[in-house]
Amino acid sequence: MENFTAAQNAATGTTPADNGAQYYDMIVFCHLRWDFVYQRPQHLVSRMSADLKILLIEEPIGGDGASHLKIINENLHVLQPRVDSIEAIGTIIPQFVKNSNISTGWFYSASFSPLLQSLNFGTVVYDCMDELSLFKGAPQHLIDQEKFLLSNADVVFTGGKSLYESKKQMHANVYCFPSSVDEDHFSQQLSEEDMPYAIASIDAPIVGYFGVIDERIDYDLLWETAVLLPEFSFVMIGPLAKVEESDLPRAENIHYLGMKTYDSLPSYLRGFDVAMMPFALNDATKFISPTKTLEYMAAGKPIISTKITDVVSDYSHCVKLISNAAEFANEIKASLQNNNTLTLQSQYRDILDKTSWDNTSNRMKAILKNTAK
């Protein structure tokens, strides 16, 4: 999942009273807040808005007051619906959408599938970036909602190979599009002076992570490794989700820096000596394909990860894979002593040359053009 606030895209918001209903080519339904983490939906939707007028609809906020329409750019608007349920979103859409027939409905979560009965889409896309039914707190009926969405979808995209293998058993038109990378953003040649004080003030060597901090992190592994390597600093950058401060392991050499903007991530990444992906092996990580793998690569950092299926299958030749704290500690020390930097960068180069968000977006649009009814 990758990363962080879209503050660089923040713009003045308008309400329906300001703008009135408009024509849209595509409506995107997304379980992730536009301003929470900048990852696959933001990368793809912002690129597609170069050619299409898009309305992205977030999950309901609930409570009183008017729903809010945020203007990201001329062609991309984000609706924050102040209603109490997914179904109720259908009642307010006419306030914002003038056309009754919409070319494309793009779903990131099956929880929005009830809206298929109240809207008329020419083409329905399910871009499955996670197996949400396996996440902590997922409602039991989400599996039934996904079956309904799959039965109505014209095309299914998946965010990784494991998800592809799962979804191709359920749909005849599935394409694998692993999350990509904005290489120019993460490969910026930054100096030490560019590093924020929050990380520049931490003793090196630094083993760093950025991403959402939730039930997918192996907190025991992090704590045990930090104890084994008191001379190393372990830095966690990102917002908490579905975990509390009290759930986090504490040690003098573990540092939590909180949520940072997408624009600032390269300057924090500049401070990493080693990049880590200390994921737990559980239901929530069974199908993930971490975008941060490529972002770490773009910055040229040595990477250590637990044995996530898609990481093992795609990157085992250049990412160090570990199973426990002792292995983690040994690989951290070995990474700083490794003299094969040129080989590692060459391996990264081979991977990065084959992927970009621009390319992924263009290939998806070509598939949609061929799929359109």
**Domain covering 7-180+356-371, topology:** Rossmann fold (3.40.50)
Least confidently predicted of 97-111, 120-134, 202-216? 120-134
Mean model confidence pLDDT for the chain? 91
The band of 10, judged by pLDDT with boundaries at 50, 70 and 90, is very low
Q: Which CATH architecture has domain 183-352?
A: 3-Layer(aba) Sandwich (3.40)
Q: What percent of the chain has pLDDT over 70?
A: 93
Find the angle CA(32)-CA(81)-CA(34) to the nearest 5 degrees: 30
275 vs 8, residue with greater confidence: 275
Kindly tell me if the per-residue pLDDT of 275 is higher than 80.
Answer: yes
284 vs 20, residue with greater confidence: 284
Kindly tell me if the per-residue pLDDT of 136 is higher than 90.
Answer: no
Terminal alpha carbon distance of the chain: 32
The band of 20, judged by pLDDT with boundaries at 50, 70 and 90, is confident
Kindly tell me if the per-residue pLDDT of 15 is higher than 60.
Answer: no
pLDDT of residue 340: 79
353 vs 132, residue with greater confidence: 353
pLDDT of residue 138: 65
Kindly tell me if the per-residue pLDDT of 192 is higher than 90.
Answer: no
Peptide bond just before 60 cis, omega within 30 deg: no
Map out the domains of the chain as residue ranges: 7-180+356-371, 183-352
The band of 18, judged by pLDDT with boundaries at 50, 70 and 90, is very low
Kindly tell me if the per-residue pLDDT of 65 is higher than 90.
Answer: no
Least confidently predicted of 15-29, 87-101, 281-295? 15-29
Give dist(CA 144, CA 133) in Å, integer. Answer: 10
116 vs 134, residue with greater confidence: 116
Q: Do domains 7-180+356-371 and 183-352 have the same CATH topology?
A: yes
Give dist(CA 37, CA 7) in Å, integer. Answer: 10
Tokens 């005849």, located at residue: 172
